[in-house]
Amino acid sequence: MLNWFIIPKKIPIKREEDYHTHYIGKTSDGRQFFGYETFVFPKGVPVSDDWTKVRREYAVLYIFDKDGNYLTTTHWFAGTTSETNDSLIRKKLEELISELGDVTYTDIIVRPFKTIIDGHVFGHVPNRLFRTVDLEPSSTISFRWPWDGEYDT
């Protein structure tokens, strides 16, 4: 049995339809994927009352091998929040997933990782201080003990 303070090498992620983990699953050759819509507030750029002009919106698709090892990321920068909309980003994410061929939407188990996109950290990143694994950027969701695939927002 794992202690609550140990971050496991692989993290299960439960698929929740129409929520943060809607776009996760497996390809016909066994690879795993995690797609989502996210945003970044650039460092050093002041967030004014009109934050929609600085927040950067992305569609992101991570690919993992059968064993949960990170392979690659495909991403699309949609513009700032004022320049785009959720349905456009979702449509692009669905296009990226369709390029994988036949997929099954299901729970996955992957290893934490990080990658850099446009100078920002993205990924499934361990947070040793809080003993979580956070979906970055913006700590959209966090996984924690008992490491059963459920997450906090």
Tokens linked to 112: 């934490």
pLDDT by residue, tens only, the chain of 153 residues: 446 568 999 999 999 998 999 999 999 999 999 999 999 988 766 667 688 899 999 999 999 999 999 999 999 999 999 999 999 999 999 999 999 999 999 999 999 999 999 999 999 999 989 999 999 998 789 999 999 999 998
| Angle formed at CA 132 by CA 126 and CA 136, multiple of 5 degrees | 55
Non-local CB neighbours of 44 within 8 Å, separated by 6+ positions: none
Q: Residues 83, 74: contact at Cβ < 8 Å?
A: no
pTM reported for the whole predicted model: 0.92
| The pLDDT value given to residue 103 | 98
Q: Are 34 and 133 in contact (CB under 8 A)?
A: no
* DSSP assignment letter at 1: -
Q: Which residue has the tokens 């004022």?
A: 82
The Cα 94–Cα 60 span in angstroms is 10
Residue 75, SS3 per DSSP = strand
pLDDT of residue 3: 61
Can you tell me the distance from the alpha carbon of 87 to that of 71, in angstroms, rounded to the nearest whole number?
27
DSSP 145: T
